[in-house]
Amino acid sequence: MTGLCTPLGPGSYLAFLLWALLLVALLSDSQLWLLLIIVLAFGWLNRRAGWQVLARRRFWLFILSIVAPAPFVLGEPNVRWGVLRLSQAGLEAGLWMVVRAVTLTLAFSVSLEVLSVTQMVDLFDALGLRGLGFALGVALNLGSVLRDMVEATYHTLRLRGGRRRPFQSLRLFLITVIANALRYGDDVVKAASARAFDPTAIQWRGNHILEGADKAFIAGLVVLGIGLLLDKTGI
């Protein structure tokens, strides 16, 4: 990862996500655009991480499906547009809903897309969940093996006339896939044990969950969050 946020560790991104979620819940509609700008800027500083979600047609279709009916069903109709009677207040409410949705979706995308798998594993290690980090690493490498296993089982059953007895074949398919996966899992256990892997051992890599830059970043988030919340109350 490069960019202005290079010194930040995984703890900072996790803190940013929690901070954004908290503020989305606490801030009023009219203040959400500030949060949206901050989230967009944070993504931009991290090589536009998470921005690709904005380029997806399905995302905008989803949002449009909520915004479009808002001027018709929210508030009192006060604007006439051809044969349609629309509510300006309803349209405004719909637009604020969009700001909220985009902010939340971007906060998730920015925080999770910036983290590499290694950083996620390190984060679990730092939180004392080494086993979960190990499991994530194993799971990521198992995906292609499982797909091959499923494919081989399917073709074997199909070539033996499995389609003539679909229910019995489905039962055999499920049993074979799970049994083969468990056998493969046992091989992984042997390999891990041969390397003396201990999921309960504390692994010291010389890095804490929060380094100096992370602490400064989180302090900045706290100050910014308090500022936004005080502004909400008009102080």
Partner 1 sequence: MKFSAYTVRDWVYVALFGALWGTLEITLGAYLHVIFPPLANTFFSGLVMAGMGVVVALVGSYFVPRTGAVLSIGIITALLKAVSLGGVKVGPMVAILAGAVLMEVALLLKRVPASWRYVLAGSLAVSWNLPHKFVMMRLLYGKGFTEVYLQMIREGSQLLGLDMGYAVAIIGALFVVRLVVGAGAGWLAWELAGLVARRMGRE
The contact set with partner 1 (CB under 8 A) reads 24, 29, 50, 52-53, 58, 61-62, 65-66, 69-70, 73-74, 93-94, 96-97, 100-101, 104-105, 108-109, 112-113, 117, 120, 129, 131-132, 134-140, 142-143, 146-147, 150, 171, 174-175, 178-179, 181-186, 188-189, 192-193, 197-200
Residue among 183 and 219 whose Cβ is closer to partner 1: 183
- For the bound state, the minimum distance from the C-beta of residue 179 to partner 1, rounded and expressed in Å, comes to 5
C-beta of 74 vs 209, nearer to partner 1: 74
**Smallest distance, partner 1 to C-beta of residue 197, A:** 6
d(CA 40, CA 72): 30
Rounded Cα distance, 199 and 211, in Å: 24
Smallest distance from partner 1 to CB 181, Å: 5
CA 203, CA 134: separation in Å to the nearest integer? Answer: 12
Query: Smallest gap, in angstroms, from Cβ of residue 225 to partner 1?
Result: 19
The distance of closest approach from Cβ of residue 192 to partner 1 in the complex, given in angstroms and rounded to an integer, is: 5
Closest to partner 1 by CB, 187 vs 235, is 187
What residues are paired with 84 via a beta bridge? 81
- Residue pair 25/107 in contact (Cβ under 8 Å)? The answer is no
Q: Which is nearer to partner 1, 33 or 134 (CB)?
A: 134
Instruction: Pick between residue 174 and residue 223 the one whose CB is nearest to partner 1.
Output: 174
Shortest spacing between CB 84 and partner 1, in angstroms? 15
Q: Which is nearer to partner 1, 58 or 80 (CB)?
A: 58
